[in-house]
Structure 1
């Protein structure tokens, strides 16, 4: 797990993203909230298995496993006062289906306009004529980035590292 120290303290003004919970979630809101937003390339579609080309992209695989790992630890994050949300450049309609299929108890945010990329300079890559995010996890308190972590290893293990971090730091 690698930290992006250069983005700590950045306020997310005007970053409102459509949510699978309905409406939009304002990540820049100064409402006292503590949010973990894991940003990922895309969740898979069971009807269309991942291609060899997708599997060859470093860090591309594992989005569904990561989402399920956050699902499985959501109560532990909530007990520490942290809300969880996932975010990708996929459409809200696609994410509604994925959230239902994966039984996700937290919202997925749709950033088809790459607003987070513009606000924070997050890394992206191109695949099948789409611009997708590289995997990163944001810790946001009252609309300010307090930590930004790049997953260096298996995305499902990354989640336990994030849990350890919020247990220790207790923002």
Structure 2
């Protein structure tokens, strides 16, 4: 059975702020190289200016079933709608001189398939070995044998976290919060 992953079912449980990201603002971006969907290794410390990384649990084609109980996990569902909202506002992010990446613990191959499937104009980064998430002590979902990032969006300015959005709900509206913040801090 295929699932329409662009659709957010009604009555999804909203995640609560458990304080798992309270330590992030002011932290320096880790000196880590991550594989991107274009096959390159991205050094996050080498990206000048403003950078937004939206972290999400997982995406995939609709013919791959979601983990059991996925819709009941607060904040789990909605990765594709979130990615599509960043895609749809990509030009506006560019006008605000902001580099954007999506990031998950999925393999670069899975992410590449997703980037192509939903036509993302930016790259996804794989934290498959969890070096980035562990360096920043990001919150995780533990589902069956999977270790997945919880949804958090990080805004970096010249290598430091200036703002984080957590919890992110509903995921398709996260871009609105991000853009509002970027517009109030325009250089």
Q: Same fold (TM over 0.5)?
A: yes
Shift, 1:17, TM fit: 0.9
Which structure's relative contact order is higher, taking Cα pairs within 8 Å and 6+ residues apart?
A: 1
Unaligned runs of 5+ residues in structure 2 are 1-15
Give the deviation of 1:41 after TM superposition. 0.2
Does 2:158 match 1:142?
Answer: yes
* 1:91-145 alpha-carbon deviations (Å, 9 max, x no partner): 0000000000000000000001111221111000111301000000011122221
Structure 2 counterpart SS, 1:109 = strand
Please list every run of at least 4 consecutive aligned residues from structure 1 whose deviation after the TM superposition is greater than 6 angstroms: none
The 3 A distance-change label for structure 1 pair 51 and 32 is: closer
Query: Equivalent residue for 2:65?
Result: 49
Aligned length: 170
1:113 alignment counterpart? 129
- CA gap 1:121/1:131 in 2 versus in 1, 3 angstroms: same
**Counterpart position of 1:38:** 54
Task: Select 2:116's aligned residue among 100, 105, 109.
Answer: 100
Aligned to 1:24: 41
Pair 1:51–1:156, CA change in 2 (3 A): same
State the SS of the aligned residue for 1:96: helix
CA RMSD of aligned residues (A): 1.9
TM-superposed CA distance for 1:152, in Å, is 3.8
Q: Secondary structure at the match of 2:83?
A: helix
Distance in 1 between the 2:154 and 2:101 partners?
10
Aligned mates of 2:59, 2:130 — CA distance in 1:
17
Report the equivalent of 1:122. 138
The answer to whether residue 100 in structure 2 is matched with residue 84 in structure 1 is yes
Aligned partners of 2:55, 2:41: CA distance in 1, in Å?
16
Hey, what does 1:131 align to over in structure 2? Answer: 147
Q: In proportion to residue count, which structure has more helix?
A: 1
Deviates more, 1:118-127 or 1:41-50: 41-50
Contact 2:67 2:143 (8 Å CA) reproduced: no
The whole-number CA distance in structure 2 between the counterparts of 1:127 and 1:5 is 23
